[in-house]
Amino acid sequence: MKEYRDHYFLKAKRENYPARSVYKLKELDAKFRLLKAGMKVLDLGAAPGSWSLGAAEKVGKQGLVLACDIQDTDTVFPPQVIFMRENVFERSPEFESRLAELGPFDFVMSDMAPRTTGTRFTDQARSLELAVEALAVACLHLREGGNFVVKIFMGPDIQELLTPMRKAFTTVKSFKPKSSRAESKETFFTGLGFRGRPQAASADNEV
């Protein structure tokens, strides 16, 4: 298992990514075709910046990645990445203004994770809270037909995330990348085909 972890850690260092997590996004993209040139992407929980860098490579110079995290990062991003230090639970007027200005987004992704306590149920509950908040942000700022990926530590209350996700997206899939550590309880849920905001949903369903 240690060799397996080292492979992705060393690969990230060799390819100049700040963390091994970029390979999870690459696997998700390969499976669900989430990223394309020219897209606008919102990255929640972006630090240290691997997902933002990975997304920036795919959207290219004509695309945009708005990245935010409660922690700062010293990662040097390309021009198509805008990084803001923000708490998604307490979004500042400046951040809300940026979201309104740059959105709607084609893809919202969240690799947010809580500070782990070592107590499984506590960590799962905090992870669920982050995932539900990420979904709320996605539902406000995704374009109709857009996609969403969120990380969560699997637990007994998973339906609190999946029930609203299934209402918001035409398809919801679960996926654990090979680059996730074998012992990790993390799973990624992908929402494909955003139905639109609730006020538009009834009209969408009549089509």
How far, in whole angstroms, is CA 103 from its chain's centroid? 16
- Token couple for 99: 């979201």
Q: What is the C-alpha separation between 108 and 42, in angstroms, rounded?
A: 5
- Token couple for 56: 């920036």
Residue type, 194: F
Q: What is the C-alpha separation between 197 and 4, in angstroms, rounded?
A: 42
151 is annotated as an active-site residue: yes
Report CA dihedral (73, 28, 35, 173) to the nearest 10 degrees.
-120
The residue annotated as part of the active site, out of 151, 173, 176, 185, is 151
Residue type, 159: Q
Evaluate whether 111 touches 186 at the Cβ level (below 8 Å). no
Task: List, by residue number, the catalytic residues.
Answer: 151
